[in-house]
Chains A and B, each alone.
Chain A
Amino acid sequence: MDIKELTSLETSGKKTIQELTIAGIIFVFFIIPWIIPSFRVMDVLAKIMIFTIAVASFDLLLGYTGILSFAHGMFFGIGAYSIALILYHSDTPSGYHIFLAAGASIAISVVISLMISFFSLRVKAIFFAMLTLALAEFAHILGVQWSDLTGGADGISFTLPGIFNFGQTLGTLFNTQINGRLMVYYFILVIAVFLFTGMLRFIHSPLGRVLKAIRENEQRTIALGYKTFRYQTCSIVFSACIASLSGILFAMWLCYVNPDSVFHTAIMVNILLMVLIGGMGTLYGSLIGAGFFIVTENWLPGLLKSIAGLASDSVILANMADRWQLYFGILFVLVVIFFPKGVIGTFRVILDRRHQLHSS
């Protein structure tokens, strides 16, 4: 935001540490399936990667452009459904179908996001939120009711082509089976790193800096001669495309889509919570947010149930354990009110303060 941060980002010492951290994280994601050969761990890691991308692309909008869009989950769903439909309807699924799905979902996302920004961006940010919320609900209803295309509430399950086919085993290496699922895992890793780097490039590009300027003070940016509408549209379209690509990864990992798993508002709320935990306007925060959320989501219900199991007679306690999402909701509200900068944001504030103390 201010010059200090920009210059501090460019200090080389910090940059090497950053690069090392990133390399370390990628290495951890790379190596863990070999160290801990548990499907559950791999599942959690894959979902963390997928949602990191979805959350980061959402953060491009919310944190870097200051636009709250509820249609982001919809683009996620569009990606997921485009690959599901293409693979489901093709008789012999092959590798190029994945690229076809990527192309199709990007095309649809571009058209829809252009329409959204055209209709609502000229008016008011709050309008944008409302319109996209209505649209997201519409997408969910469409997913359920247009059963000829989407298979209705039952959803679509499909098989992946070639080396990604889950049933296939290519051999074993260091006691780990190399099967289709592992290949999909690495595919997700590669694509996620690629997309994340793309987003980093995007926010550090001149375009990204203009977006930050719009977030800080739109009137002033207009006065400086920037056509803010165009820049905002750019960021909406770009983030919608990334979201739909992450939707493709999600569908590939599950090999199954249904309206509730990709179009439901709850997905959107989850993504929002992940952004908030990590910190708005910090792309790295999306990894922390997604990591925290997915890990908790996987182990919290079991934990709560075992706590409730201690007092097995209490129906209320069992109910309370059953509705573990409630605690996410409460956490959500608390984070927004008391912790609006998220983990990375707060960390940066502390660093800044320390920096100021040292320099003075």
Chain B
Amino acid sequence: MKTDTLKFQTRNRPFQQYAGWIIGIGLFLLPLIQMDLTTYLTLTVAGISLGMLIFLIASGLTLIFGLMDVLNLAHAAFFAFGAYAGFTVLNLLNNAGWIDTASLAQSLFYLALALGAAGLAGGGLGILTEKIVIKRVYGNHLMQLLVTVGVSFVIVELLKMIWGVNDEVVPVPMGFQDAFIIFGVFIEYFRVVAIFLGITIFAILQYILKQTKLGIIVRAGVENQEIVKATGYNISWIFTLVFAAGSALAAIGGTMMAIFNQAVDPGMGNQFLIFALIVVIIGGLGSVTGSFVGAVIVGLSFNYVAFLWPKMALGVNFMIMAIILLIRPKGLFGKD
């Protein structure tokens, strides 16, 4: 709480504060020169939904870093694991023949089932990882980076062992294969679900971090475990749960992405890790708001550029990252 008020006091330069937003929004209107309004809106909706999916991945990464000061490079592996968990649930439902005939409401229910399973599986794996590995390396960044790389490797190999090395097609509930049209803009239901889920999770995280004591307790625990223990909090379990929550977010993001792309493969984590890393770097390490804004920036710019110059899409994201790093070396919302 205290740090927030301080931040506002130091930031009483309204023009500078809003100039960034104005320039940013102006930049996102720029693609209109090259395309007509309908295409632009379609791409914008698609971009925002892609951004929300990326936010789901990045939020877990930034949550774990922001609270526990651990950069979890195994995040991509949790993401892939969650994708496979959701895929398994959907496959089971498909074998029962429920996927192809699902109405929208039923589809939502099945999605909730898949996401729940993925979240539980990801969270469970997170608890295991934290209890066995991560808790031994708190406070040592280099060790954390190294050990999480190793964990990531192990998880991906386990995925290959359990589900095989090949791509699998993910059965998408029938209700999501529909779309509706507003102002000539073609919007798939699944994109709306993705946007809704992204915003909900953003709101929940903001609430927990800003309105509850959890954030303060965990940060205090990073500074001094003994004192927090003395005040009666079981800090080691709180750490475990935060880590599990981050992993669960990754897993949920994995299932969403699996449905979005209608495919899973063991290496999928690394493909999206690059997005998550760019987002976290743009937004500032440890800031959930930063990840949210960063994810929207990356999702939108990726879609616009992929439409205009398909081969440049990822390169442009790198350019944005470089420019933002030049202007603000700690990212848009990074703590100075």
Task: State the A residues within 8 Å of B (CB).
Answer: 62, 66, 68, 119-120, 122-127, 129-131, 133-135, 137-138, 141, 145-146, 265-266, 269, 272-273, 276, 319-320, 322-323, 325-326, 328-330, 332-333, 336-337, 340
Residue of B nearest to A273 (CB): B150
Q: List 22 A-B contacts (CB under 8 A).
A: A66-B142, A68-B145, A123-B330, A126-B141, A126-B285, A127-B281, A133-B274, A134-B277, A134-B318, A137-B273, A137-B274, A266-B153, A269-B149, A272-B149, A276-B146, A326-B154, A330-B154, A332-B150, A332-B154, A333-B154, A336-B137, A336-B150
Residue of B nearest to A328 (CB): B153
By size class, the interface of chain B is 35 or more
Known A-B contacts: A68-B145, A129-B73, A273-B150. Give 15 more (CB < 8 A): A124-B285, A130-B281, A130-B285, A133-B73, A134-B274, A134-B277, A141-B274, A265-B270, A266-B153, A269-B150, A272-B149, A323-B158, A326-B157, A333-B133, A336-B150
- Distance from B133 Cβ to chain A, minimum over Cβ atoms (Å): 6
Residue of A nearest to B69 (CB): A126
Task: State the B residues within 8 Å of A (CB).
Answer: 71, 73, 133, 136-137, 141-143, 145-147, 149-151, 153-154, 157-158, 160-161, 270-271, 273-274, 277-278, 280-281, 285, 311, 314, 318, 321-322, 325-326, 329-330
Q: Across the interface, which residues of B come within 8 angstroms of A126, CB to CB?
A: 71, 141, 145, 285
Name the one of B136, B146, B280 contacting A130, with C-beta atoms under 8 angstroms. B280
Decide: A333 near B147, CB < 8 A? Known: A119-B325, A122-B329, A133-B273. Answer: yes
Is B161 touching A320 in the complex (CB atoms < 8 A)? yes
Is B151 touching A123 in the complex (CB atoms < 8 A)? no
Q: Across the interface, which residues of B come within 8 angstroms of A138, CB to CB?
A: 274, 314, 318
Q: Across the interface, which residues of A come within 8 angstroms of B281, CB to CB?
A: 127, 130-131, 134
Is B285 touching A323 in the complex (CB atoms < 8 A)? no
In Å, the complex CA distance between A57 and B281 comes to 27
Is A129 touching B145 in the complex (CB atoms < 8 A)? yes
Q: Across the interface, which residues of A come within 8 angstroms of B160, CB to CB?
A: 323
Q: Across the interface, which residues of A come within 8 angstroms of B330, CB to CB?
A: 123
Name the one of B147, B271, B322 contacting A337, with C-beta atoms under 8 angstroms. B147
Is A319 touching B161 in the complex (CB atoms < 8 A)? yes
- Distance from A312 Cβ to chain B, minimum over Cβ atoms (Å): 18
Name the one of A120, A125, A333, A340 contacting B141, with C-beta atoms under 8 angstroms. A125
In Å, the complex CA distance between A333 and B150 comes to 5
Residue of B nearest to A322 (CB): B161
Q: Across the interface, which residues of B come within 8 angstroms of A319, CB to CB?
A: 161
In Å, the complex CA distance between A146 and B313 comes to 13
In Å, the complex CA distance between A68 and B153 comes to 17
Residue of B nearest to A335 (CB): B150
Residue of A nearest to B311 (CB): A145
A120, A135, A146, A265: most-surrounded residue (chain B CB, <10 A): A265
Is A129 touching B71 in the complex (CB atoms < 8 A)? yes
- Distance from B321 Cβ to chain A, minimum over Cβ atoms (Å): 8
Is B153 touching A329 in the complex (CB atoms < 8 A)? yes
- Distance from B135 Cβ to chain A, minimum over Cβ atoms (Å): 10
- Distance from B173 Cβ to chain A, minimum over Cβ atoms (Å): 30
Is B142 touching A269 in the complex (CB atoms < 8 A)? no
List the 6 closest A-B pairs by CB distance, nearest first. Answer: A332-B150, A329-B153, A329-B154, A326-B157, A333-B150, A137-B274
- Distance from B99 Cβ to chain A, minimum over Cβ atoms (Å): 27
- Distance from B155 Cβ to chain A, minimum over Cβ atoms (Å): 8
In Å, the complex CA distance between A266 and B77 comes to 13
- Distance from A116 Cβ to chain B, minimum over Cβ atoms (Å): 11
B149, B157, B161, B330: most-surrounded residue (chain A CB, <10 A): B149
Residue of B nearest to A67 (CB): B142
- Distance from B310 Cβ to chain A, minimum over Cβ atoms (Å): 10
In Å, the complex CA distance between A329 and B160 comes to 13
Residue of B nearest to A319 (CB): B161
A122, A123, A134, A337: most-surrounded residue (chain B CB, <10 A): A134
Residue of A nearest to B273 (CB): A137
In Å, the complex CA distance between A62 and B145 comes to 12
Q: Across the interface, which residues of B come within 8 angstroms of A127, CB to CB?
A: 281, 285
Decide: A323 near B161, CB < 8 A? Known: A126-B141, A265-B270. Answer: yes
Name the one of B154, B161, B278, B329 contacting A134, with C-beta atoms under 8 angstroms. B278
Decide: A337 near B318, CB < 8 A? Known: A269-B153, A323-B157, A329-B157. Answer: no
